[in-house]
Amino acid sequence: MKLPGAVVRILPLAAMLLLPAGVNAQAAKPQPSVVSIGQAGSRYIYTVNGKESLLIGMGYNPIYRTMANDMRAAAYRRDFKLLCQAGVNTITGWDSDKGFEQDRFDEVTLDAANQYGIGVIMPIFMPADRDYTDPGLIGYVLQEATAKVTRFKDHPALRMWGVGNEVLTVMPPEQHASFLQVYLNIIDLVHQLDPNHPVIYREAEDEFVPELVQLLQDSGNPRPWWLYGMNIYDKDPAPLLRNWPLLGMNRPLFVSEFGYEGSSPAERAQGYVTMWRTIRAFPEYVLGAAPYVWSAAGPEPTDSKWGLMRADSVPVDDTFGKLAQGWRLEPKANGPNCG
């Protein structure tokens, strides 16, 4: 494509010489990502920038926020290169969760992820221990969501907005109704500000899906851009996944966390691999998964049990390597150009 004349006249000669042949100035700048969920017959399709994809994920929990930005970037690049080489194409994380302060995903995180072809599910925190009839809280969460979406919606590494994680699990049942009404307002705002990326809610298994189905029905708006992530631990996921189409959500599913403790390192590794293979046995509507969790040195006490890597990003056992063997066989896996 030929550059507009006005642009050609003001573009410095040195900058023009740095552009590869056939690439104009606009194309050289990373463009915002566009992510969508489509359907072909009974099969759902997860699309990133016009290409069908499979979410090969990783729950990503190391705490780098206290480092200087150059050190943070170096730590991210180290980790993301390993993830890229393993075939991982997406990370998911948390701002805060269950009282634990997590890392803060920002431009440093996103830029490093994009360098290695890794997308990011950006968290938007929904506290589970607050009163969702309080106008002050409602105004605060709306303001925080607006600021985050406005700041990051055009970044090429963005894949989805992760609005809430296991809130209903932690929250007393009598508070669910008020929370869910506010939740609808939050996700509608996010989608209005950024229609180019889905929104996902992550929850323990499928216990609260009937409440969510009823919520959508009562609202009169199916919100097909709103997705569900199921967190599954220490069990065969097949019964849960097989039952998904019968629950009435009428949308695809992501397994947003999975893990297997095992009685030995070898049993743990085999458990994770078996869970991944089972998840991939439902490709029509299960569009990917992310094991929990990257670092054994994360902020939650249970991270020492579920973590796949030491604090220096060296594997604690064979689990990550065994998962990577399977991931790299996927036609839509990340790589092979991982820096």
Structural domain spans, the chain: 53-327
Percent of the chain with pLDDT over 90: 86
Residue-wise pLDDT for 193-221, tens only, equals: 999 999 999 999 999 999 999 999 999 99
pTM: 0.90
Please tell me the distance from the alpha carbon of residue 122 to that of residue 184, in angstroms, as a whole number: 18
**Confidence category of residue 337, pLDDT binned at 50, 70, 90:** confident
The residue-averaged pLDDT of 80-103 equals: 84
Model pLDDT, residue 154 = 98
User: Residue 55 belongs to what H/E stretch?
Assistant: strand 55-59
Task: Fill in the DSSP letter of residue 171.
Answer: S
Amino acid identity, position 318? D
pLDDT tens-digit map of 265-277: 999 999 999 999 9
**Residue-level pLDDT at 336:** 84
Whose structure tokens read 């890229």? Answer: 84
Beta bridge partners of 47: 36, 52
d(CA 225, CA 243): 21
Whether 104 shows a pLDDT value over 80: the answer reads: yes
Which strand (E) or helix (H) includes residue 39?
A: strand 35-40
Residues 6+ apart with CB under 8 A from 16: none
Exposed/middle/buried for residue 318 (C-beta within 10 Å: 0-12, 13-18, 19+): middle
- Answer yes or no: is pLDDT of 12 > 90: no
What is the structure's pLDDT at 339? 75
For position 242, what pLDDT does the model report?
98
For residues 304-310, average pLDDT: 97
Quote the mean pLDDT of the chain: 91
CB 53 within 8 A of CB 297: no
- Whether the per-residue pLDDT at 301 is higher than 60: the answer is yes
pLDDT at 61 over 50: yes
Average pLDDT of span 175-188? 98
pLDDT at 10 over 90: no
pLDDT at residue 4 greater than cutoff 70: no
| CB neighbourhood size of 73 (10 A) | 18
Q: Note the pLDDT of residue 29.
A: 74
pLDDT at 98: 55
Q: What sign has the CA pseudo-torsion 223, 127, 64, 68?
A: positive
User: Given this model, what pLDDT does residue 28 score?
Assistant: 59
Helix (H) or strand (E) holding 325: helix 319-327
Q: From the CB of residue 232, how many other CB atoms can be counted at a distance below 10 Å?
A: 23
Give domain 53-327's CATH superfamily: Glycosidases (3.20.20.80)
Tell me which residue of 232, 130, 147, 231 sits closest to 183, measured CA to CA. 130
Q: Which residue has the higher pLDDT, 150 or 19?
A: 150
Whose tokens are 């150059």? That residue is 70
d(CA 329, CA 322): 12
Q: What integer pLDDT is reported at residue 97 of this predicted model?
A: 56
What is the spatial distance between Cα 142 and Cα 139, in angstroms, rounded to a whole number?
Answer: 5
